[in-house]
Amino acid sequence: MKYLTLAADYLEPSIRDDGSGEQISPGESGIPADLAQEIRSWNDRYQQVIPASTQQRETMKTEISELDQLGLDLAGRIAAALGDAKVRYYSEGLLRHLDPS
């Protein structure tokens, strides 16, 4: 069983193997190409949040919430696609892990 964490990051989304700390590219992880593209598109949308200050993020709450809901969905879809993985989600906007339930 793999334990992974999905998070938005500069340029490329971060899918980290929690055991080894290794960063995995969506295109090299066994994730289907269409799902990998959705992950990249989500990450592209998150780029406006990443450099924002805490004060700026307060004004972006709706956008962050929408992006996090999509991120949680993507994490679940990654786990389903890989079959042997549990995927956590880290909210870059809230700076904490979110529980998918």
Q: How high is the pLDDT of residue 50?
A: 96
Is the per-residue pLDDT at 100 higher than 80?
A: no
Range of the domain at 65: 2-98
Q: How far apart are alpha carbons 54 and 37 in whole angstroms?
A: 29
Number of structural domains the chain divides into: 1
Q: CA 36 to CA 97: how far, in whole Å?
A: 21
pTM of the model: 0.94
| Section 78-92 average pLDDT | 95
Conformation bin of residue 30: beta by default, left when phi > 0, alpha when psi is -120 to 50: left
- At 101, the pLDDT band (50, 70, 90 cuts) reads low
* β-pair partners for 6: 15, 89
Res. 75: pLDDT tops 70: yes
- Please give the Cα distance from 10 to 77 (Å, whole number): 22
User: For 85, what's the count of Cα atoms within 13 Å in the CB-facing half-sphere?
Assistant: 24
Which pLDDT score is estimated for 35?
96
pLDDT, position 59: 97
